[in-house]
């Protein structure tokens, strides 16, 4: 079992290019696992965590409803946004500047074989990070992700999640709003959930901008503790 993880900071990168890079890493892990089973080997599988910011983009999960995108092609172009239907779970979401997107590409057989636990640990990582800023973030029953003021009329989502897994290998991940332009969420029904608001860390703290690098360091610290990994 390989408990080491390679962390890569990709900066600002096109969504499709990043998706292709994820697929390369994902397929490499799968091929190692297939080779191990076929040839009765014990080659170690790799684990990765990618941090990235994307230019404005909307992505629709495989079970999502296209009607949750409220823009046509011309309107997307006018807003400088792109759109992709992708192979993760979940419905529609938005990625853009001022948002930390994290893609853990892990062989869960190095950790535990439980997708439910995996998602809960990702949520816990975000909840612990937001607690460092004095925010009480929570899970919302039946709704993956991280929320504020759950169970009230003011419930709002601050972090969306959607993953894909095959042979216990994960890809895609989470998107935490830090200094996000929340106006872009007005063009979708976020995650297919109507009548629920979306928020960003800077809005919650009443500040113009929060240092993204600082938040990333806190996320990574909690990720390392929760998954009991060593970074390389």
Q: Please tell me whether 165 is known to bind a ligand.
A: no
Q: Please tell me whether 58 is known to bind a ligand.
A: no
Q: For residues 25 and 18, what is the distance between their CA atoms, to the nearest angstrom?
A: 11
Q: Using CB atoms within 10 Å of the CB of residue 203, give its burial: 0 to 12 exposed, 13 to 18 middle, 19+ buried.
A: middle
> Residues with Cβ < 8 Å from 213, sequence gap 6 or more?
none
Q: Please tell me whether 74 is known to bind a ligand.
A: no
Q: Please tell me whether 167 is known to bind a ligand.
A: no
Q: Please tell me whether 94 is known to bind a ligand.
A: yes
For the question of residue 191 being annotated catalytic, the response is yes
- Please give the C-alpha separations between residue 210 and each of 56, 160, 182, 213, in angstroms, as whole numbers: 19, 19, 15, 9
Q: Please tell me whether 180 is known to bind a ligand.
A: no
- Please give the C-alpha separations between residue 126 and each of 49, 130, 174, 203, 208, in angstroms, as whole numbers: 15, 6, 9, 17, 21
Q: Please tell me whether 102 is known to bind a ligand.
A: no
Instruction: Give the relative orientation of helices 212-227 and 115-131 as an angle to the nearest 10 degrees.
Output: 140
Of the residues 69, 148, 191, 215, only one is catalytic, namely 191
Q: Please tell me whether 199 is known to bind a ligand.
A: no
Residue where the block lists tokens 């009443």 = 206
Question: What distance lies between CA 187 and its chain's CA centroid?
Answer: 20
Q: Please tell me whether 91 is known to bind a ligand.
A: yes
DSSP code of residue 185: G
Q: For residues 184 and 132, what is the distance between their CA atoms, to the nearest angstrom?
A: 27
Q: For residues 48 and 170, what is the distance between their CA atoms, to the nearest angstrom?
A: 10
Q: Please tell me whether 107 is known to bind a ligand.
A: no
Q: Please tell me whether 134 is known to bind a ligand.
A: no
Q: Please tell me whether 90 is known to bind a ligand.
A: yes
DSSP code of residue 67: G
Binding residues for substrate: 88-95, 160-162, 173-175
Binding residues: 88-95, 160-162, 173-175
- Residues recognised as catalytic: 191
């Amino acid at each position: 079992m390989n408990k080491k993880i390679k962390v890569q900071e990709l900066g600002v990168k096109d969504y499709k290019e990043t998706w292709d890079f994820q697929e390369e890493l994902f397929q490499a892990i799968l091929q190692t696992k297939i080779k191990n089973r076929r040839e009765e080997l014990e080659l170690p599988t790799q684990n990765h965590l990618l941090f990235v910011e994307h230019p404005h983009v909307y992505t629709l999960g495989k079970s999502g409803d296209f009607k949750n995108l409220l823009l046509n092609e011309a309107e997307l172009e006018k807003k400088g946004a792109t759109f992709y239907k992708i192979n993760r779970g979940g419905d529609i979401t938005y990625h853009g500047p001022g948002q930390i997107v994290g893609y853990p590409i892990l062989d869960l057989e190095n950790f535990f074989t439980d997708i439910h636990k995996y998602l809960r640990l990702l949520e816990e990582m975000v909840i612990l990070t937001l607690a460092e800023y004095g925010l009480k973030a929570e899970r919302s029953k039946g709704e993956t992700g991280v929320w504020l003021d759950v169970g009230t009329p003011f419930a709002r989502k601050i972090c969306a999640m959607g993953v894909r897994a095959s042979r216990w290998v994960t890809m895609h991940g989470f998107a935490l709003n830090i200094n996000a332009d929340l106006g872009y969420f007005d063009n979708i029904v976020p995650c297919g959930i109507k009548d629920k608001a979306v928020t960003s860390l800077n809005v919650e703290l009443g500040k113009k901008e929060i240092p993204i690098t600082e938040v990333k360091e806190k996320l990574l610290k909690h990720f390392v503790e929760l998954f009991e990994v060593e970074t390389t």
